[in-house]
Amino acid sequence: MRTLISTAFVSLDGVVEAPGGEPGYRNSGWTFKDMEFLPEAFDIKGREQKEATAMLLGRLSYEAFSPVWPGMEDFADYKVMPKYVVSTTLTDDGLVSDWGETTILRSLDEVAALKETEGGPIIVHGSAALNQGLSDAGLIDRYHLLVFPLLLGAGKRLFSATDKDTQKLKLVEHEAYANGLQKNVFDVVR
């Protein structure tokens, strides 16, 4: 079974919306505003590209990333990696042609089936609603969280507010950085 890894920039109060400056959110770009950049805090992002063998995205994140990431050298490893977009509305004509093989999945059942295939880890970037659904369905195996020392209040959250049984996590890697950023890697305990 393939490992499904959710990776996120997250505020201390759980917000993941518009970390890189996406329009339409009051605190857009919160990952770099008034935050000293320390390259070592982001080493995990390069490691993710080297270790992942596929990328999973929701439609909104795909539509935000696909016009930009294919041409960015920082994301070169993702360009050739197979991508899967979970959407009930996206069609093949909505896919970009310069970002490698992309498959549309129509349900979380199809994600579960993908996890049963041969291959290495699948990484989930962005995709707040997808992350919530995957978590609630018990499909996420690991979280890579870069926690920013900010309280953003309103905004899309990484985790849903669904009333469900306790989900236990095991901290397997962590580090705190001089700028207040924290790296927390959790395995989901089954």
Give the model's confidence band at 172: pLDDT under 50 very low, under 70 low, under 90 confident, else very high: very high
Q: Rounded to two decimals, what is the model's pTM? A: 0.95
Long-range contacts of 116-120 (CB under 8 A, 24+ apart): 116/1, 116/2, 117/2, 118/2, 119/2, 119/53, 119/54, 120/2, 120/3, 120/51, 120/52, 120/53, 120/54
Q: What is the pLDDT of residues 14-24, one digit of tens each?
A: 999 999 888 89
DSSP letter (8 states) at residue 70: G
Tokens of 18: 């518009």
CA distance 55 to 70: 13
Give the model's confidence band at 82: pLDDT under 50 very low, under 70 low, under 90 confident, else very high: very high
pLDDT > 90 in the chain, percent: 94
Q: What is the pLDDT of residues 115-135, one digit of tens each?
A: 999 999 999 999 999 999 999
Q: Are strands 182-188 and 169-176 parallel, antiparallel or unpaired?
A: antiparallel
Q: Which whole number is the average pLDDT over 100-129?
A: 97
Please choose, from the candidates 177, 54, 178, the residue with its C-alpha nearest in 3D space to the C-alpha of residue 115.
54
Please choose, from the candidates 106, 104, 49, 59, the residue with its C-alpha nearest in 3D space to the C-alpha of residue 80.
49
Do 57 and 86 form a contact (C-beta atoms < 8 A)? Answer: yes
Question: Which ranges in 52-153 belong to alpha helices (H)?
Answer: 59-65, 76-79, 108-115, 128-136
CA distance 123 to 125: 6
Element (H, E) at 54: strand 54-58
Q: Is the pLDDT of residue 92 over 90?
A: yes
